[in-house]
Amino acid sequence: MTRSWLGGLVLAVCAFPVVAATPELPANPRALPMQFSMQAAASGCDAGSTSGACRPLLFASGMITADTPQRFETFATDNRVANATVVLDSDGGSVLGALAFGRAIRRLGLDTTVGRADRGAAGAPAGIAPASCESMCAFVLLGGVHRAVPPRSRVLVHQIWLGDRRDDAVAASYSAEDLVLVQRDIGSIVRYTADMGGGAELIEIALRIPPWEPMRQLTRAEMQRAHLDASAQTVASDRTAAAATPVALGPGRVGRGGERGWTLIDGRAGTLLVRRHPLTVEGERLGSFDLTLECGDTAGTYALSYSERRSTSRTGGDAAIETVRLWIEQADVPFRLVSSRIGEDGGALETFAVATVPAGLVQAFADNASHSISVQASGVGSPATQIRIGNAGIARYFGQLQASCGSRAPVTRDAHALLEPGR
């Protein structure tokens, strides 16, 4: 994704990472603030050589924070970094920090690549192993005078989002001031990209991937067009420009009764918790789906239903969803597919699936405000989708569902979610 408003807006990681739903363990170096280390050039190289094999390697691994640019400047002052290649291994982080970091790299005339230190036998020099440069790391990569992405390394991007609202972006609220900042701050990241000699396609791709989708891996052709992989090209020197904090917003959805997030419904079928979410692929809306949580058939379980409607404009005549899966609290929960077929009006592919979830997993999801779940649907004749959903509202109502399940026999699930059809 440690990310504060104005100082820590981020390219969301699902995501986005995505995926995105499982938080990194603190012991993972990529989740710690960025650390720097040097590997001297190989022996036998001329002092003035510009050969890649003869350049010192400056390894930069971890999250980009607001302090990263200053820590990098201090490291560069204390070490011989002239002609070095900065080797990036990062999940991203602070937008403001990333833009300043990238500008510092350019001012020092350094190159950039993607990888991590590959330590050989004792005493052997470090090589570069494959790694990922994610989210705002892509813009740091752009700061190099020359940029190269090795074949097995990856660059992934995602929309820029308000850091304190990325865990459940659809359920969050956004003000007019947020929209004003969008116009001003997107201009800042566009200016940075132009100053660094980058291609507009980098911004265009990033801004169409919402925070509830997995991050988008750039193809080799896209990296070349964005000038992220142009090792033979020397770009213009840095121009002075303000490095503000960009943010982009997507449409919010309001649930039944004006509520966002998970909604409580009391009806003839019993007490239900229902969540509606847009169904998108790279930000393009295909339709929507509902998740319905209710009492399980056995003690210690809850029943979860998935009800989806996607437009037939992106499907074939024989389109069908074949697999629906859920990731909750690092557990993989498969759904049993009940039906998936084109509706009678021919306007939508309608899918319904059910699953049983242990009560402990649902309780943990409800108890932690930063937790999210991921739902994946795939089949034939229609794009696969993977959506990350937060738990906004569930803590407010979960106790009522628990009480309801403890006071009556479970019901048979024979209906879709009870929300009104989405627009």
Reading the chain (423 residues) residue by residue, the pLDDT tens digits are 333 333 334 443 333 333 333 333 345 667 799 999 998 765 555 544 444 557 899 999 999 999 999 999 999 999 989 999 999 999 998 888 999 999 999 999 999 999 998 866 555 556 789 999 999 999 999 999 999 999 889 999 988 776 677 777 788 887 888 776 766 777 778 889 988 988 888 989 998 888 888 899 999 889 988 999 864 443 433 333 322 222 222 333 333 333 578 988 876 557 889 999 999 998 889 999 999 998 888 888 999 999 999 988 766 667 899 999 999 888 899 999 989 988 877 778 999 999 999 999 999 998 876 678 999 999 988 899 999 998 888 888 888 888 888 765 544 444 444 444 444
Total residue length of the chain: 423
- Hey, what domains does the chain have and what are their CATH numbers? 10-225 (3.90.226), 256-407 (2.60.40.1880)
CA 201 – CA 207 distance, rounded (Å) = 10
Structure-token pair, residue 42: 């190989």
Q: What is the pTM of this model?
A: 0.66
Phi, psi for 378 (deg, rounded to 5) = -145, 160
- Beta-bridge partner residues of 279: 287
